[in-house]
Amino acid sequence: MHRQKYNQPIQILSDAMPEKIDPWSQDIKVKDYQKIREEFGIEDFGSMLSRISSPMLQMRRGIIFGHRDFGRVADAIRKKKKFVMLTGLMPSGKFHIGHKMVADEIIYLQEQGARTYVCVADIEAYNMRNQPLEQLRKTAIEEYLINYIALGLKPKNCDFYFQSQRSNDPERSNAYYRLIGMVSNRTTMNEMKAIYGELSPGKIVSVFTQVADILHPQLPEFEGACPVVVPVGVDQDPHIRLTRDIASRMKGNREFDFIPPSSFYHEFMPGLKGGKMSSSDPYSYIALTDGPKTVKEKIMKYAFSGGGNSIEEHRKHGGNPDVDVAYQMLYFMFEPDDRKIKKIRDEYSSGRMLTGELKQIAIEKINEFLEEHRKKREKARRLVPRFLKD
């Protein structure tokens, strides 16, 4: 039986859905996730829950809302057969709680038996963000890899790599870079423009590199043909759709026998101010290195409230947890107990719980997590070489 989903899609963004999703946009706006599923042919993830013996929190609460062909991954998990989880990270800015949600998905799939591929998109970051490769490498390790390890990522069956230097093994490295060039022969500029709109040379290189990132685990030099799942926000669906099309066009080729990759999609956790978390605005997010005082200041001062304009109004009409950022942070990850989160929602919606009280619960929960995470980060540093040995 599916668990009840206590929240609805976050209603804090523009009224009109964008006609196209731009995977490079810094300001993606989604108001109605059901509508976007229907528009882009994404399947409802709720139908998968009965096939997963221990769904993660984001799955059972409907935060992971859609998928493409996740059934073959669910079958691989159930039958304990080989499958791959691939994710990419853009090494820019601080690692914050929005990134933690993706890390939780990575680690969950690794625990379910996935061979885990983590791609540092340093070539894409170099082309799109114009930062030196050495700085991008440092950020990837200090801000991402160490936090991933502290959150539970294990080195066994984990391939952490950089686009700029795929592998120290020439055979594997050559296979990866050869694939980047060869996938370009399975699409046209008209198709690319239909998916992405206007394209620069840097974007074209990034697209073909990402297609190769998603497909290359199935090369014989790596895992061979097997299910691959990519957990992403819906803004990355254009890459998934193109990769699936290219994989289908290459299937049956004597050299390639790719299974079209699977994917699942999560809702965006709102930033503190109600919009998107932005690495350029430290008051839009909680970083995993923020101290207790900083967390308290950010939430009390900047966290968008769904409460009434006055105590009297709030007591009379109640608050709106669907737009309240403190509640959303608890719902997305910091209150795992379904009964407790329902009680908080009911108390706040009825007006019995005030905005300040809700924020205080979030502050305490987040600081409790961060205190333990800081200790794990220090231990994680010792494990970094085990992830970089290739």
Cβ contact 347:335 at 8 Å: no
Residue 1 C-beta-side C-alpha neighbours within 13 Å: 2
Let me know if the fold of 33-268 is the same as that of 282-377.
Answer: no
Cα–chain center distance at 300? 26
Give the type of residue at 367: N
288 vs 181, 276, 331, CA distance in Å? 38, 17, 18
Tens digit of each residue's pLDDT, the chain (390 residues): 333 343 333 333 334 444 456 666 655 667 788 888 888 899 999 999 999 999 999 999 999 999 999 999 999 999 999 999 999 999 978 999 999 999 999 999 999 999 999 999 999 898 877 889 999 999 999 999 999 999 999 999 999 999 999 999 999 999 999 999 999 989 999 999 988 888 888 889 999 999 999 999 999 999 999 999 999 998 899 999 999 999 999 876 667 889 999 999 999 999 999 888 887 789 999 999 999 999 999 999 999 999 999 999 999 999 999 999 999 999 999 999 999 999 999 999 999 999 999 999 999 999 999 999 999 999 999 999 999 987
Domain 282-377 is of which CATH architecture? Orthogonal Bundle (1.10)
Q: What's the distance, Cα to Cα, between the start and end of the chain in Å?
A: 44
Give the residue extent of every domain in the chain.
33-268, 282-377
Q: Is 216 left (phi over 0), alpha (psi -120 to 50) or beta?
A: alpha
DSSP 141: I
Q: Scanning the structure block, which residue is given the tokens 């994710």?
A: 87
DSSP 99: H
Entry field: residues in the chain: 390
Tokens in use for 10?
């976050």
| Beta carbons within 10 angstroms of residue 388's beta carbon | 13
Tokens in use for 314?
């709030």
Domain spanning 33-268, CATH class: alpha beta
- Give CA–CA dist 3/58, Å, rounded: 12
Q: Sheet of 262-266: strands edge to edge? A: 43-44, 64-68, 262-266, 228-233, 84-89, 115-120, 158-162
